[in-house]
Structure 1
Amino acid sequence: MTEPLLRIDDLHVDITTRDRTVHALDGIDLDLAPGEALGLVGESGCGKTLTALSVLGLLPAGGRITRGRILFHGTDLAAAPEPVLRGVRGHTVGMVFQDPLTSLNPTMTIGAQVAEPLRLHTRLTRAEARAKAEEMLGLVGLPRPAERMTHYPHQLSGGMRQRVAIAMALVCEPDLLIADEPTTALDVTTQHQILELVDALRARLGMALILVTHDLGVIARRVDRVAVMYGGRIAEHAPVRPLFAAPRHRYTQALFAALPERAPDPARPLATVPGRPPVLTTRPTGCRFAPRCGFATDLCRTAEPELTDGPDGGRPADRTAHTFACFHPAGPAPGADPVAEIRPPAPATAPPRADAPLLRLTDLAKSYPLHGGPFARRRGAAGISAVAGISLTVRRGETFGIVGESGCGKSTLGRLAVGLEAPTTGTVEVAGRDLATLRGGELRAHRREVQLMFQDSAAAMDPRMRVGAVLTEPLVIQGIGDRAARQRRIAGLLDDVGLPRGAVDRYPHEFSGGQRQRLGLARALALAPSLVVADEPVSALDVSVQAQILNLMRALQREKGLSYLFISHDLAVVRHVADRVGVMYLGKLVETGPAEAVFDRPLHPYTRGLLDTVRPPDPASRPLGGETPSAAAPPSGCRFRTRCAFATERCAAEPPLVGRGAGHVASCHFPLRG
């Protein structure tokens, strides 16, 4: 067996704050061979990121390693002094952090930041370091790297910033790359490009990888082995194929069941993991998952299972064995449905029939003038075409999904629908009323009718206001009820979204990401709207919390007859929740139709490219490549033609609308026939 590049033995980490100590990691054992890829998965707070940060000695304030070793090239990093760790960080171990915007220095140019590790760890001159940095920016696929060297982080898109973060981590050609949620909240094509890039660089440099993520789809395609973490411990460990074919630990089984793509019927709710992860201020007795497990017995509550290859087996020596810490594991039948026995039943009542139009968008367009910046210097640039001639309807009781890459205009469309933006041309009608004609009381009534769930629920709430004030604010503005009536309304809202009524006295930062998203939904429902525009409502949430939010939204739709305009880049989520789907590209709606038809039999090459990007590898697939053109100077005719494998000169003219029946249409000269 190859000598491990990295070995973590019995790692324990405590985090001490002013009033308590959290035992965040409790006996982690892992190793990693040169060139190997290991995935760390689990819910938020399970210890994934802390395990990765421990390798580089980047623990949060109050964090300390209380026991264990971290051997890297034979050196124990757990006991190493700070000068040794500084020599490792960015040199032999690279780190890609979850949020590239906060990990990049806003006052330094991109070139200076990528060259900085070379200046610190090598003897290259300033000119040589800058030349190497420019080469690395080109290697990670950043367009026009020489020009980008002079830019600052805020001038780049999210995908570009992530590429810069990867370039910084790889510029010294490290032996190990640690990537912490490197593609969270990125659209599927940018995610695919970045992960393909990491795979190619791994092969070129012979580099090992630790990939920290809650996205099981990413794990399935990108790593060799997987460690499933829960409550600061490893619950299951296996090569990736055996784990996905037959998960053994009941926690792993529950995570798989929560995936939208595993749901056999969109009408049925997603399986969820009940309860919450343990609070590790004291070491739990017995199995840490027992309080949330439907298969737990008295043995599980009193004894802690060891990580073995069977309920009666000993601790295996082979690191490639399929091991799990569970007294009552799921059956090891390859090919069987690993989550069938824990799926919830179908709801007793079907969603209300969708018929009458509630929202109607007609020839809607939105352009933003160019007052400054690099685009303003282009001769003839009229503005940024964010939305370009979109027409669609959302019926009462229906969920209409909007999908597309970042920058395609999805969020702008959502803001136009609720009236936060005024269209350049076209009309927005809600319940038959044109928003442009509303004044006074009619406009106030519209504000009650349509509400918006923002993508970042934390940024959408005033951190200085308690939750009670956040939820009461729209009622006060609209002059609805007296103090007692508002309190009753807020109590009912908290009941609806599954939060305790005592939450009114807490501040937003005191809640988890999933709880804040529930608060965002409660605020959107405060005025009893008919339409909720949900902009990435489950982006960056782990699969179990995502399932809870999606189930909640569907249940409220059944109870209250809500309509949703559901904006997301997650195709599996949209397929599960949407009745109809619209696919956007560079401000245009290129395909619409029933969700099943669009996802199973796409008409437009762009839709097919999006789907091929997330499907298992197939020689016939055509994942999207190339760079999206600027919205300040979009191509004439079909805007997708510069990236389309089927494009001809004919595509320089506006494509016609072609259909396949049942409302399934696409704007394309060469629609697909499959």
Structure 2
Amino acid sequence: MPTTQPPGPVPSGESPLSGEPLPAHEPLLSVEDLHLSIAGRDRAGAERTVHALDGVSLRLAPGEALGLVGESGSGKTMTALSVLGLLPPGARVTSGRVLLEGTDLAAAPDQVLRRIRGEAVGVVFQDPLSSLNPTMTIGAQVAEPLLLHRGVSRAEARERAVETLRLVGLGQPGERMRNYPHQLSGGMRQRVAIAMALVCEPKLLIADEPTTALDVTTQHQILELIGELRERLGMALILVSHDLGVIARRVDRVAVMYAGKVAEQAPVARLFTSPRHRYTQALFDALPERAAGTSRPLATIPGLPPSLTRRPAGCRFAPRCAYATDVCRTEEPAPRPADDEGVHTYACFHPADPAARPAAPGEARPAEDAPASPGTDADVLLDLDDVRREYPLHSSPFTRRRDRRLVSAVAGVSLTVRRGETFGIVGESGCGKSTLGRLAVGMEKPTGGSVRFEGDDLATLDRAHLRAHRRRVQLMFQDSYAAMDPRMRVGAILREPLVVQGVGDRAAQEERVRGLLDEVGLERGAVHRYPHEFSGGQRQRLGLARALALAPSLVVADEPVSALDVSVQAQILNLMRDLQREKGLSYLFISHDLAVVRYLADRVGVMYLGSLVETGPAAEVFARPLHPYTRGLLETADSAVVDSAGETAVDGAPEAGPAEGAGPLAGETPSAADPPSGCRFRTRCPLATELCATTPPEPTAPAGEGHLVRCHFPLVPVAGSAG
């Protein structure tokens, strides 16, 4: 790994692998009419073949970044893994080629693929733990590719591993070399995975959903790191993601995939401003950013992607497309150019009009679409007053020293949730959002302050009354599958809360289950199936149905849509809004996705290291943030709103203007076991002074009643500036 002057981008006329002259048009990677099938068996044991890829063609120039987007099952990951030959059992390439500098990897023997992996092509997976060995130190794992591919000594491999860890921004790399994966945070583990992928200076990096499980600031840091290293090392990049905001900022070109085929390819700015394929247009219409600040439901894509066990006739998107005609159902559209240069292609018989720009955020909607108004201050459902939650830091069994420190997970939070409203909680991982949710439902008791629900202090309730309280408040989890017993059928899972609470007889309970399935849009026959037989979106509908079984007044939704595709996410958010209107539900909605919270929430609270630093109406907080942390979150988030010049808007489009110190968040969140004195954000705040170090800020309302901020130096709009 170079130490002083890393190589710049590889010239287009030079091979990045051999260094020999190549024709200017020669790509680094060329996928040509690739067909991939996976043989297996269905639930009845009968043989079946899934046609995972059907005629995929892609080209990637040296140093270029290509984004692959589409719904789950569209073929994004299978296309990326075909380059490395890392195919699942039963999968094989039936036709087509995958050329890396002229070498067909689809037909290459295993010894060639083993040489390519890690040396010429690096890969970063979604879950770093899946690529890290829990029994090996970080140093051994980062050095291993050098020992395998470069034949260097162990001392040199260690030296280069330390250097690479420093290059990817991992603090104290020499010390981290001795750590094991479980001793690192999620963001640190992902940096280690990137170091492993880059230590042999590959010419192509494949990043498959590398930031899906990370919060907005860690995601920003990881993606910025990948972009910087790509430019320094002259790497090409294939970025697989279902997050359109990530794709908008991070790649040069985009390929939109659907049902194993490429529906559309274009430069990123052209695709986001003038999509031609109806599927691409439908994905953009489903974005929460498109409906931010309005009361209209999100656009959704009806139906489900087709089964790939047989090749559908005609256009694969036709059954879900509002513009489909008979020709779409009988003939398969061929890719056609959308411009004279041929850089924008699409496969659609009835393309979108390029002059019809996507709906702008904040578009007004009819009054009849408006949701029911939230309750007033006199109609408070949940009231948290100076709530604190601390946990003892357990001592290591391998040391004699006893650790008496406390982890301050929630530090003096006060908020109210009214009947019929959605209160959003946003913040980085580890800020205390989920702990606050558990306190709200009574799963945990506060170590200070009070949690009142409909006037009852949960800390004073006896067991019987607390059990009755649980009927009024329910949880909706991020991973609905993990919250269900895989050995139980759906009917039993939905009946279980009714049985535990003694609600009705068996016949009444079964009728209630059928009604719940109707409410969340699932067929009644689902009661006989197991959780693994449903898609992710369907399982999240089941999670919502279970939360509604006891007719609660409040649902605490903890990251309920973070792992879903944009189209499925839109369906769940619309369903939650519809049920809120019908039943007068209140939501405490916890998420790190700012666009989702801005769309769904009436009011929002911003948490940092256990403290609520800003609260107010969602539209007001996102448009005119007062706390530097809130502003930093908005500046850090990737947005899928792109202008004609290819520039992406800040998520939420703050109107406060360029404040001093504005910009993406930098630095790491301090430990909750040893929080900073005074203002907890001061160690990362560009406006911090000695006052911030000595005096905790009190809540003030510089922008008017209802919009509170805990900051000694709240941001104010700059006169005459544009947001």
Instruction: Please classify the TM superposition score into its range, dividing by the shorter chain length.
Output: over 0.9
Which one is further off, 394-403 or 114-123? 114-123
Residue 518 in structure 1 maps to residue 518 in structure 2: no
Which of 620, 637, 644 lines up with 2:678 in the alignment?
A: 637
Q: In 2, are the aligned partners of 1:5 and 1:32 still within 8 Å (CA)?
A: yes
Partner of 1:218: 246
2-structure distance, mates of 1:45, 1:377 = 52
Instruction: Report the residue type matching 2:197 in the other structure.
Output: A
2-structure distance, mates of 1:401, 1:543 = 19
Task: Give the CA deviation at 1:127.
Answer: 2.1
2-structure distance, mates of 1:156, 1:255 = 36
Partner of 2:343: 321
Task: Give the CA deviation at 1:128.
Answer: 1.8
Identical aligned pairs, as a percentage? Answer: 73
Instruction: Report the residue type matching 1:34 in the other structure.
Output: P
Residue 538 in structure 1 maps to residue 566 in structure 2: no
Task: Give the CA deviation at 1:345.
Answer: 7.0
Q: In 1, are the aligned partners of 2:374 and 2:418 still within 8 Å (CA)?
A: no
Please list the CA deviations of residues 121-164 of structure 1 after superposition, one character each: whole Å capped at 9, or x if unmatched: 11121222122212212211222222222222222222111111
Q: Secondary structure at the match of 1:366?
A: strand
Structure 1 pair 220–667 and aligned structure 2 pair: CA distance change class (3 A): same
Residue 393 in structure 1 maps to residue 420 in structure 2: no
Q: How does 1:556-567 map to 2 (within 5 A)?
A: 556-567=579-590
Residue 405 in structure 1 maps to residue 428 in structure 2: yes
Residue 291 in structure 1 maps to residue 319 in structure 2: yes
Q: In 1, are the aligned partners of 2:292 and 2:599 still within 8 Å (CA)?
A: no
Partner of 1:658: 700
Partner of 2:209: 181
Q: In 1, are the aligned partners of 2:520 and 2:575 still within 8 Å (CA)?
A: yes
Structure 1 pair 563–420 and aligned structure 2 pair: CA distance change class (3 A): same
Which of 506, 511, 517 lines up with 1:483 in the alignment?
A: 506
Q: How does 1:54-133 map to 2 (within 5 A)?
A: 54-133=82-161
Structure 1 pair 236–138 and aligned structure 2 pair: CA distance change class (3 A): same
Please list the CA deviations of residues 517-544 of structure 1 after superposition, one character each: whole Å capped at 9, or x if unmatched: 1111111111111000000000121100
Please list the CA deviations of residues 328-376 of structure 1 after superposition, one character each: whole Å capped at 9, or x if unmatched: 1011127x33689x99977556324322111111111111111124999
Q: In 2, are the aligned partners of 1:381 and 1:633 still within 8 Å (CA)?
A: no
TM-score normalised over the length of structure 2 = 0.89
1-structure distance, mates of 2:582, 2:672 = 41
Q: Secondary structure at the match of 2:386?
A: strand
Residue 624 in structure 1 maps to residue 665 in structure 2: yes
1-structure distance, mates of 2:398, 2:665 = 25
Please list the CA deviations of residues 555-612 of structure 1 after superposition, one character each: whole Å capped at 9, or x if unmatched: 0000000000000000000000000000000010000000011101111000000011
Task: Give the CA deviation at 1:441.
Answer: 2.6
Instruction: Report the residue type matching 1:115 in the other structure.
Output: A
Q: How does 1:209-358 map to 2 (within 5 A)?
A: 209-263=237-291, 265-310=293-338, 321-333=343-355, 336-337=357-358, 348=369, 350-355=371-376, 356-358=379-381
Structure 1 pair 227–583 and aligned structure 2 pair: CA distance change class (3 A): same
Q: Secondary structure at the match of 1:565?
A: strand
2-structure distance, mates of 1:507, 1:440 = 33
Instruction: Report the residue type matching 1:651 in the other structure.
Output: C
Q: In 2, are the aligned partners of 1:38 and 1:227 still within 8 Å (CA)?
A: yes
Q: In 1, are the aligned partners of 2:393 and 2:403 still within 8 Å (CA)?
A: no
Which of 529, 542, 547 lines up with 2:570 in the alignment?
A: 547
Q: In 2, are the aligned partners of 1:39 and 1:210 still within 8 Å (CA)?
A: yes
RMSD between aligned residues? 2.0
Partner of 2:66: 38
Q: How does 1:142-221 map to 2 (within 5 A)?
A: 142-221=170-249
2-structure distance, mates of 1:264, 1:646 = 30
Residue 649 in structure 1 maps to residue 690 in structure 2: yes
Partner of 1:609: 632
Task: Give the CA deviation at 1:438.
Answer: 1.2
Partner of 2:13: none
2-structure distance, mates of 1:412, 1:393 = 16
Task: Give the CA deviation at 1:78.
Answer: 0.1
Q: In 2, are the aligned partners of 1:101 and 1:153 still within 8 Å (CA)?
A: yes
2-structure distance, mates of 1:376, 1:591 = 41
Unaligned 5+ runs, structure 2: 1-23, 42-46, 640-647, 651-657, 718-723
Partner of 2:21: none
Which one is further off, 269-278 or 129-138? 129-138
Q: Secondary structure at the match of 2:416?
A: strand
Structure 1 pair 184–376 and aligned structure 2 pair: CA distance change class (3 A): farther
4+ residue runs over 6 A deviation: 342-346, 374-380, 617-620
2-structure distance, mates of 1:507, 1:112 = 42
Residue 572 in structure 1 maps to residue 601 in structure 2: no
Task: Give the CA deviation at 1:662.
Answer: 3.4
Unaligned 5+ runs, structure 1: none
Q: In 2, are the aligned partners of 1:38 and 1:225 still within 8 Å (CA)?
A: yes
Q: In 2, are the aligned partners of 1:404 and 1:584 still within 8 Å (CA)?
A: yes
